[in-house]
Structure 1
């Protein structure tokens, strides 16, 4: 509605609305998170978990209103019809920009349970937001590299224990656990440095979701595989706020988590190799999907 304004003004006003919306919901989330933490009764904590998720869902809803108010970004999405709110999902996606998070929240809102992003453990110390993420049951992960474990063998297995503990609270109500398995945002420089075998993707890291599936012990029922393509090139956050992103093409594919995807990623070498092959094939297929979305965008332009 306000997309007739100059892009700099549009972006600035939109950013201000994001801040107001975030602060508006941050305060009650922090207050109710303290209520949740102070009383260790299971029923009490479950009630506040639902309440906090609803607040976060309303935050996403208002962010979407913000986007529609200031921009004309068209979301072309396929595959939503197979999703439902009362299920347990592992959501994975390619990662190109911070805009990906806004896109995922917008298209999946009301389709699946509120997205819980895996975060580095250090982010829990971010002022206010760290506590809010903790209150919303975002899982914090601590990963140790193989060289580090060789020097500190007593810490072997601690990372999977941390993941198990983070996932324990997801077993009692439907959840969507989100992981960008490339581990970082795509850039041409990173692509070249990795010598990635994929045309439009970085190499996937199977360990993170392998740990999640192991920690959840069969509670997750489906993989939601999201492919995001920006026809006009990878945007910055401010590009998106300013209305410079006219279109985003998104393909969603859903796959059951069968017995072949369940196992001991830490100790079963045969399963680990099989799982890594599955992830690699998933990424080969995603690379082809990116090409299909690109060709589709060219036909529409």
Structure 2
């Protein structure tokens, strides 16, 4: 009976989310219109703050629902001093769509609105895709190996897009989120990669390397974030139905070595090797932390 009730509440939650998003969409498309017709100076001064405000309203309602209706059990430890006036690089493991809302839960109103690297296909999602475009979220084109074999000149497209996006971010305090694994963790993906980590996929270094090269001197902190679910990683449907359980989040400051800010990741093999080794050490520590959190008894 409880499962039936949870599923019913999930349907209600999804319907309310659609209605909420459609209402917000009116303001999103208004901002998109003015972004297209106004000069760059007015876009920066008027449209950018407006679309950020619209996004915060959309998120605020969802986060209120998560905190007061879903009553997720949050286990949060944050060692980082946060500010709305600084630049942050946020790195995290990735298991579920719920990770995104978990990150917003711990950062909303404390640091600049999180900006993610988005798959290009998601730009077509109604309302949300247009909002991402208006807020200058970088869109990534994931080419297959077969495609790259025929078009090797496209191999660095994502890195170039990252560099261009970071150049825009250099003018306004920004929080850049990078799920270094590049995809959601699963045992099958872990096996295919022959990952050396027990709870993680191999980190992808290119995107974060370019972000650090472009903005490293501005970052007040690199926030190493670890997310662990008490149960199996929840789907978005699990979130809607109230089946998330306890979520443990750990946030710590990691110093970005000064040498990486001026490195040439693309063309210098020594720089690339040193940076990848640094990420490997970061991932080993994260893997151990995940194991420790998973070993804790359920409440």
TM-score by length of 2: 0.90
- Deviation of the 1:40 alpha carbon: 1.9
For each residue in 1:33-66, what CA deviation from the matched residue of structure 2 results, as whole angstroms up to 9, or x when unmatched? 2202211232443321112112111211100111
Gaps of 5+ in 1: none
- Deviation of the 1:151 alpha carbon: 4.7
Q: Quick one: structure 1 residues 269 and 144, their matched pair in 2 at CA, closer, same or farther if it must change by over 3 Å?
A: farther
Number of the residue aligned with 1:270: 270
Q: Tell me, in whole angstroms, the C-alpha distance in 2 between the residues paired with 1:254 and 1:171.
A: 21
Number of the residue aligned with 2:199: 200
- Deviation of the 1:153 alpha carbon: 5.1
Moved more, 13-22 or 275-284: 13-22
Number of the residue aligned with 2:39: 40
Number of the residue aligned with 2:258: 259
- Deviation of the 1:143 alpha carbon: 5.6
Q: SS at 2:243's partner residue?
A: coil
- Deviation of the 1:145 alpha carbon: 7.1
What pairs with 1:80-95 in structure 2 (closer than 5 Å)?
81-95=80-94
2:108 paired with 1:109: yes
Q: Tell me, in whole angstroms, the C-alpha distance in 2 between the residues paired with 1:156 and 1:248.
A: 37
Q: Quick one: structure 1 residues 46 and 139, their matched pair in 2 at CA, closer, same or farther if it must change by over 3 Å?
A: farther
How many pairs were matched up? 297
Number of the residue aligned with 1:219: 218
Q: Quick one: structure 1 residues 258 and 51, their matched pair in 2 at CA, closer, same or farther if it must change by over 3 Å?
A: farther
Kindly indicate whether the alpha-carbon contact (under 8 Å) linking 1:223 and 1:254 is maintained by their aligned counterparts in 2: yes
Kindly indicate whether the alpha-carbon contact (under 8 Å) linking 2:123 and 2:133 is maintained by their aligned counterparts in 1: yes
Q: SS at 1:221's partner residue?
A: strand
Kindly indicate whether the alpha-carbon contact (under 8 Å) linking 2:112 and 2:175 is maintained by their aligned counterparts in 1: yes
Q: Tell me, in whole angstroms, the C-alpha distance in 2 between the residues paired with 1:155 and 1:85.
A: 36
Kindly indicate whether the alpha-carbon contact (under 8 Å) linking 1:14 and 1:66 is maintained by their aligned counterparts in 2: no
Kindly indicate whether the alpha-carbon contact (under 8 Å) linking 1:92 and 1:180 is maintained by their aligned counterparts in 2: yes
- Deviation of the 1:68 alpha carbon: 2.8
For each residue in 1:164-206, what CA deviation from the matched residue of structure 2 results, as whole angstroms up to 9, or x when unmatched? 2222221111111111111111111111222211111111111
Superposed CA RMSD: 2.4
Number of the residue aligned with 2:208: 209
Q: Tell me, in whole angstroms, the C-alpha distance in 2 between the residues paired with 1:259 and 1:209.
A: 15
Q: Tell me, in whole angstroms, the C-alpha distance in 1 between the residues paired with 2:125 and 2:239.
A: 25
Moved more, 154-163 or 217-226: 154-163
Q: Quick one: structure 1 residues 218 and 143, their matched pair in 2 at CA, closer, same or farther if it must change by over 3 Å?
A: farther
Number of the residue aligned with 1:18: 17
Q: Tell me, in whole angstroms, the C-alpha distance in 2 between the residues paired with 1:291 and 1:66.
A: 30
Q: Quick one: structure 1 residues 74 and 39, their matched pair in 2 at CA, closer, same or farther if it must change by over 3 Å?
A: same
Q: Quick one: structure 1 residues 217 and 38, their matched pair in 2 at CA, closer, same or farther if it must change by over 3 Å?
A: farther
Number of the residue aligned with 2:77: 78
TM-score by length of 1: 0.90
Kindly indicate whether the alpha-carbon contact (under 8 Å) linking 1:36 and 1:45 is maintained by their aligned counterparts in 2: no
